[in-house]
Amino acid sequence: MGSYLLGRRIGAGGMSSIYAARQESRVGIGRLVAVKMMNPALRDRTRIKMFLREALISTQLEHPNIVRTYGVLRSRGRLCLAMEFLHGVNLSSLLRETGKPLPVGVALKIAADVAAALHAAHELRDSHGTRLGIVHQDVSPHNVMVTYEGTTKLLDFGIARLSSIDASWTAAPKGKTAYIAPEQVTYGKLDRRVDIFALGVVLHELLTAKRLFGRDSVGQTISAIVNDDIPDVRTVNESVPADVAEIVARALERDPKKRYGDAEAMREALLEARDSNGIERVSGPALGAWLRNAVPPVHSPAELENEIVLTSSGTLKASHPHVSEPLTHLPRASRRARGVLSGMPPAMPPPPASRPPTATTAQRTATTRFSMSLLTATAAFGVVLIVLAFLFLAVRFR
Ligand SMILES: Nc1ncnc2c1ncn2[C@@H]1O[C@H](COP(=O)(O)OP(=O)(O)O)[C@@H](O)[C@H]1O
Ligand SMILES: [Mg+2]
């Protein structure tokens, strides 16, 4: 995969920082990419496993509304993901910058795109046709970007779960508190419908410019998710048609059985409501143009790339991803699912010098050691026998 020139930081989340970078190739053609670097303070075993899990899931996902992940890199012991560079803003910054509800057509377009991305992830299957059971678990405005080309992208599969591998499917709630579903709070059974609930919260926020469950403390937020009345979006924004408000309300049902069964059903409902209410269909270029006007870009990708070449703070060398090693420690991985995941094409060839001993190398080493000790024992035994024979002869012919 060549080497990478690191540029400025373009984003940050709970676990990592995102940098613009230029991927250099041997033939002299470079390209702008984004590199997600795990925070050095979080390098414990669990976090490393989570980071590799994110890499394994996201490199499998190829969908126009999901950020493309190229592979795993390592720089001085820090794990990094190389991704496509997205020139745009996340929904959290977008709402902060605009400070008012998005036009209904724009909000519907973004929500429908996120629903398409989620459906692709939920439906991802292994080569045997078995669904991996991916649940994103962290759908929130921070984890959705809109680009200046007019594409919506779902990011950050950092805490996504695979029902085919994860043993404890009713684990402690994860994800940003204000977007988790009631069944996550009550340690209920989780499935793809938690992502539908989260998308409902995000859409509510896009249409009202108000946080639905965000409160002053985590406790209050959780209490709001479980108990508070969920206001109809139309009480805040009268321009929202009644059936769009109903879609939001259905996604936000506290009982998962009452929500949409899958994200595709929600996407279809959104598009139908758009058409039946005569809401303008927002194309990709129209979304891009709207975004440029709402939040003008600070840098162009070309400026960022030039800046990297001129001021680069360091080079990242591609190294072996080591993905197969931690995978073997995943709890109760079904052989089938594990096979598919470890079958991920390695992002780059392993340099022989830094390659860790594989199971066969280790076995070979152990076998060699064993034969060596057997040889020593036999030789020692032979020497003892000769000495005894000499002693015997000496006594006999004295
Ligand atoms: N590929 C990318 N291109 C440009 N910006 C990105 C990209 N990926 C992430 N970002 C920015 O970085 C922020 C944090 O990224 P994310 O993957 O969510 O990190 P974390 O897992 O630490 O939450 C995002 O909200 C977004 O603003
Ligand atoms: Mg994030």
Q: Same domain for 145 and 232?
A: yes
Q: Same domain for 119 and 30?
A: no
Helices (H), the chain: 45-60, 91-98, 104-123, 182-185, 193-208, 218-227, 242-251, 263-276, 284-294, 301-311, 324-327, 335-342, 359-396
Ligand sitting nearest the alpha carbon of 93:
1
Atom 20 of ligand 1: nearest residue by CA position: 13
Contacts of the segment 227-234: beta carbons below 8 A, 24+ positions apart: 230/204, 233/204, 233/207, 233/208
Q: Same domain for 169 and 213?
A: yes
Ligand 1 within 6 A of 141 CB? no
Q: Which residues are catalytic?
A: 138
Q: Same domain for 18 and 159?
A: no
Structural domain contains residue 115: yes
Atom 1 of ligand 1: nearest residue by CA position: 85
Structural domain contains residue 282: yes
Q: What is the pLDDT along the chain (398 residues), one digit of tens a residue?
A: 568 888 999 999 888 899 999 998 877 788 999 999 988 877 778 888 888 888 889 999 999 999 999 999 887 778 899 999 999 999 999 999 999 999 999 999 999 999 999 999 999 998 899 999 999 999 999 999 999 999 999 999 988 877 656 654 455 566 788 999 999 888 778 899 999 999 999 999 999 999 999 999 999 999 999 999 999 999 999 999 999 999 999 999 999 999 999 999 999 999 999 999 999 999 999 999 999 999 999 999 999 988 888 876 555 544 333 222 222 222 222 333 222 222 233 333 333 333 333 333 333 333 334 444 455 566 777 777 777 877 877 777 76
CATH code of the domain containing 189: 1.10.510.10
CB-based contact 319:351 (threshold 8 Å): yes
Q: Same domain for 66 and 104?
A: no
CB-based contact 1:318 (threshold 8 Å): yes
Which residues neighbour ligand 2 (ion) by CB within 5 Å?
A: 13, 142-143, 156
Domain span at residue 388 reads: 360-398
- Cβ-based neighbours of 236, under 8 Å, separated by 6 or more: 101, 207, 208, 210
Q: Same domain for 36 and 167?
A: no
CATH code of the domain containing 324: 3.30.200.20
What is the rounded CA–CA span in Å between residue 383 and residue 385?
5
Cα-based distances in Å from 377 to 374, 380, 382: 5, 5, 9
